[in-house]
Chain A
Amino acid sequence: GAVVSQHPSRVICKSGTSVKIECRSLDFQATTMFWYRQFPKQSLMLMATSNEGSKATYEQGVEKDKFLINHASLTLSTLTVTSAHPEDSSFYICSARDRVIGADTQYFGPGTRLTVL
């Protein structure tokens, strides 16, 4: 399957700082990437859909000014958590979609564990 990388894998920051997370598709071009967050023992919650060359589409209840998404190229999307607070501590996972006839597969990055002190 396709490979998606995510960086950093783990970050600890102070409250009020901003954190940038990168998501890269390594061996294919992804016009669409997705950003999820996952709390312990819970499901993945879609935060936003990142489209190359256009604005991201945010899910209801997700603050677009707090979670800035940029999809600058076909292989890179970034999520910036601005003015992070302890309640933003979570596992953030990106995925890239490979949609061809008869298949619709998401390839996930390894995730970024964010801890805000």
Chain B
Amino acid sequence: GQSLEQPSEVTAVEGAIVQINCTYQTSGFYGLSWYQQHDGGAPTFLSYNALDGLEETGRFSSFLSRSDSYGYLLLQELQMKDSASYFCAVNTNAGKSTFGDGTTLTVKP
């Protein structure tokens, strides 16, 4: 089966940089995705890594190291609206995704 670990909570101030780590154990690894979910809403796609390295999309970046079974989501220039839950998800070549338990990010003024 698959298992993922990510911190349950992270707190940071506006304008800061925060990194949310994700370690995983899986077979048939295809890629690592990141999703944002605000309270009461559905997840929205943020980023995807299939190969080692950094993917940058505006203020958000995601990193993957396949050899270490590790990835992270980097959020820069934090804004209050970034307060949400962030999920990493392992995509397998079986075509399914398994989600981590999520990290609740609280951005303070």
The answer to whether A and B interact is: yes
A96 to chain B, nearest CB (A): 11
Q: For A46, list chain B residues within 8 Å (CB).
A: 96-99
- B20-28, B44-52, B62-70, B73-81: which lies at the interface: B44-52
Chain A interface residue number, banded: 20 to 34
Q: Which of B86-103 contact A (CB under 8 A)?
A: 87, 89, 91, 95-102
A interface secondary structure, majority: strand
Q: Mark A24-58, 1 if CB is under 8 A from B, else 0.
A: 00000000101000000011111001000000000
8 residue pairs A–B, Cβ–Cβ below 8 Å? A44-B43, A45-B99, A46-B97, A93-B42, A108-B43, A108-B44, A111-B41, A111-B42
| Chain A residues in the interface with B (C-beta under 8 A) | 1, 6, 32, 34, 42-46, 49, 93, 97, 99, 102-111
